[in-house]
């Protein structure tokens, strides 16, 4: 049993190299997992008052949990909010669960990523700081043992994914910012 737990832990914390697609204004998936929601996000507005859309990705314990920058840009803010530890596939997890919000500024529009703890996940590790420049696909953090990642984009983004689709962090293109 001890060997099985050790083997699962090694498997869980894997961090494979990824071939990052090159393309201007691409928004890459910040995490491996299944898209559980694509919804308008009226709670917030972009810096110029533009409407936003939220893409939610559920990470099971079998997915890679290293999170990646969806865009090249400047990290504006990193905000950690304590909260609950509800099942991450549920809609309420985006508002109620413990989370870390990262705001990326790009010349084409701002993008936000929420790293959200889940039922089993109790630790969010953020590896970027405000003022840091990142490239699309750079490693930005890790959520341990099951979680959810929300990517919040300008509503004008031309989406290339659908609900129920599985995506791979740093390689799948969620959309293109016009």
Residues labelled catalytic = 147
- Give Cα 152 to chain centroid, integer Å: 9
Beta bridge partners of 126: 141
- DSSP line for 114-126: EEEE-SS---EEE
- Give Cα 37 to chain centroid, integer Å: 13
From residue 81, alpha-carbon distances to 9, 41, 60, 94 in Å are 26, 19, 22, 11
| CA gap 43, 49 in Å, rounded | 12
Q: Given the structure tokens 């905000």, which residue do they identify?
A: 79
Q: Given the structure tokens 């703890």, which residue do they identify?
A: 117
């Amino acid at each position: 049993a001890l060997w099985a737990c050790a083997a699962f832990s090694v498997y869980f914390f894997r961090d494979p190299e990824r071939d990052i697609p090159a393309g201007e204004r691409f928004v890459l998936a910040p995490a491996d997992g299944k898209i559980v929601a694509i919804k308008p996000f009226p709670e917030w507005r972009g810096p110029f008052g533009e409407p936003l859309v939220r893409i939610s990705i559920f990470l099971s314990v079998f997915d890679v949990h290293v999170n990646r920058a969806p865009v090249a840009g400047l990290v504006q803010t990193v905000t950690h909010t304590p909260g609950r530890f509800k099942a991450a596939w549920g809609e309420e997890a985006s508002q109620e669960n413990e989370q870390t919000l990262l705001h990326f500024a790009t010349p084409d529009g701002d993008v936000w990523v929420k790293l959200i703890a889940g039922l089993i996940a109790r630790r969010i590790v953020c590896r970027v700081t405000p003022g840091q420049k990142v490239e699309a696909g750079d490693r930005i953090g890790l959520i341990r043992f099951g979680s959810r990642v929300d990517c919040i984009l300008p509503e004008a983004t031309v989406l290339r994914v659908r609900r129920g689709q599985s995506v791979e962090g740093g390689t799948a293109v969620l959309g293109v910012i016009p």
